[in-house]
Amino acid sequence: MNIASVKTSYFEPWLQFNHPMVRQLAFTIASPNLLCHLPQSLAIQHNFQLHPDQIWEQHFQNYLPRLKQLDETPEPLLQFMSRLKSTRLGLRFENLLWFWLQEDQYHSYQLLGYSIQKIEGAKTLGELDFLVLNKETQQVEHWEVALKYYLGEGQLNLEQWIGLNREDTLSKKLYHFTDKQFQFSEALGFKVQQRFAVLKGQLYLPLNSAQDQSIPDWVNSTRRLGFWGTVIPNSNFYRLERHEWLCPNKQASSNTAYWWTDGLYYRNTENTQFYMFRHPFLLSLGLNSDEKMPLYK
């Protein structure tokens, strides 16, 4: 697959809801993983899997009646989320998933434990995000969850997807999964039989990419890709609030951007686009000042 062949129609059912938190909850459930499969170049120490897109679509369909109910009366969700004092997006995502997992009349999982610390003597070995019993397979599953936003560089190889903190890379995250987070064979007295990474968020292509540039086959093309760059586009974008990185509010949360600062910008028109702007002094990219942002048609 190359950039020119990237699709422009997506399964994004979270956009149908009105309440911002319900839209974020729907995104948490329905959105696909960033990767459709693990890269072949990844050296696996402890095996883990990614849920297929169809699993998340089915979870959404099963939960749809509840989402509609929450959209009308969001108090149970708001009360649950009010306990979260941190503004970190990853923790918000994790807590939204926790809310859904507790509502087990809508899915086949029994939540056995959340945020389980593994301690040996005075040393903390690590922590498991979720331990669940899959009642369809009768297997105990360990889930590690992450909400990530990575900017592709160069030839878009595994090592060239960089986080907003350049110490955070997709490669490091995947190796952290297999080397560290999925090292445990038991928890809370249960044998771990399956391991799943729930890795969601968004990937961003460099704005100066050639249309015939190849995209790695492990990039999930069913998740809308964004752009990133260091120049200001001529189109009408507005800056998203931090929590809107999960899902933009139904109504624009700010006016069309005039003064641009680092962050995620959104254009909600016929050609919906996300654009991650980065100040040129933060990155050495060799871009020309007259470069324009390419637009999918």
Report whether 151 contacts 165 (CB < 8 A): no
Of the candidates 180, 209, 184, 204, the residue with the CA atom closest to the CA atom of residue 194: 184
pLDDT of 285: 39
pLDDT of 290: 38
Which residues in the chain show pLDDT less than 70?
8, 281-297
Q: pLDDT by residue (tens digit) across 102-116?
A: 999 999 999 999 999
CA distances from 82 to 78, 114, 240, 246 (A): 6, 18, 21, 17
pLDDT of 293: 42
Phi, psi of 39 (to 5 degrees): -60, 140
pLDDT of 55: 98
Distance of CA 31 to the CA centre of its chain: 8
pLDDT of 281: 64
Q: Is 79 exposed, middle or buried (0-12, 13-18, 19+ CB in 10 A)?
A: exposed
Q: Is 34 exposed, middle or buried (0-12, 13-18, 19+ CB in 10 A)?
A: buried
Q: What is the dihedral of CA 92, 94, 95, 99, to 10 degrees?
A: 130
Neighbouring C-beta atoms of residue 15, cutoff 10 Å = 14
Neighbouring C-beta atoms of residue 99, cutoff 10 Å = 18
Looking at the DSSP bridge assignments, the partners of residue 131 are 113, 142
Pairing outcome for strands 238-239 and 263-267: antiparallel
pLDDT of 294: 41
